[in-house]
A and B are shown apart, each in its own frame.
Chain A
């Protein structure tokens, strides 16, 4: 049981290049999330997906697109990378139901992205 996995772990891009960050979870969770973490800023939500086929904007969606490919996979795309997108990106998932359910989010290991 791997939990939440992310690829790649590290990436360096030049301004204007595009790339897709991949995320997969094996916990059968319905909801998936993308966050970015900048120094001194905590984590901020970029996009989220409540279920397969649905996506919604979070706090900082500009410059990003997402795809919920299926229940397991949720990708984040940077169409034209900018230095301001240099950050650590985390994917998370949550799901379940019933008494005592708390909707705890479980995080992947992160992708460290540098845009030159």
Chain B
């Protein structure tokens, strides 16, 4: 089974409107972290927002917020007031396991959602 599922291959949104990008995850570990990255057409991977499994509140970073529904195992990214520069691929990723000192924690990525912002 896929650990990270992004069911929307492509999305369109009107400039200045809000958009939600879906992400569901699958893990049996009680400790995990969820990340969203943006990949514009130039190709770089840009970190947007993080949500920990024990975080009580939904994460927010400027126009980005994460709608975290633990029981449903979903971590949807909400972009408010879309801008033309938001057109990009968006990837959801998960780190399983509790962080405890030194070590590497692998990320598992979804296949991404291509967001197009229409003027």
Which residues of A does B touch, CB under 8 Å? 30-31, 33, 40-45, 48-51, 56, 58, 88, 90, 92, 94, 97, 101-110, 112
A107 touches B33 (CB 8 A): no
B106 touches A45 (CB 8 A): yes
Residues of B within 8 A of A90 (CB): 45
Residue B12 is within 8 A (CB to CB) of chain A in the complex: no
Determine which of A88, A94, A97, A109 lies in contact with B105 in the assembled complex, contact meaning CB atoms within 8 Å. Answer: A94
A51 touches B33 (CB 8 A): no
Task: Tally inter-chain residue pairs, CB-CB below 8 A.
Answer: 66
Known: A102-B33, A103-B99, A110-B44. A42 touches B112 (CB 8 A): yes
Minimum CB–CB distance for B80 against chain A, Å: 22
B111 touches A42 (CB 8 A): yes
Residues of B within 8 A of A43 (CB): 45, 91, 93, 107, 109
Minimum CB–CB distance for A60 against chain B, Å: 12
Residues of B within 8 A of A42 (CB): 4, 91, 109-112
Minimum CB–CB distance for A64 against chain B, Å: 16
- 16 contacting pairs across A/B (C-beta < 8 A): A40-B111, A42-B110, A42-B112, A45-B107, A48-B104, A49-B104, A50-B103, A56-B104, A88-B43, A92-B45, A101-B99, A102-B50, A103-B33, A105-B107, A107-B46, A110-B44
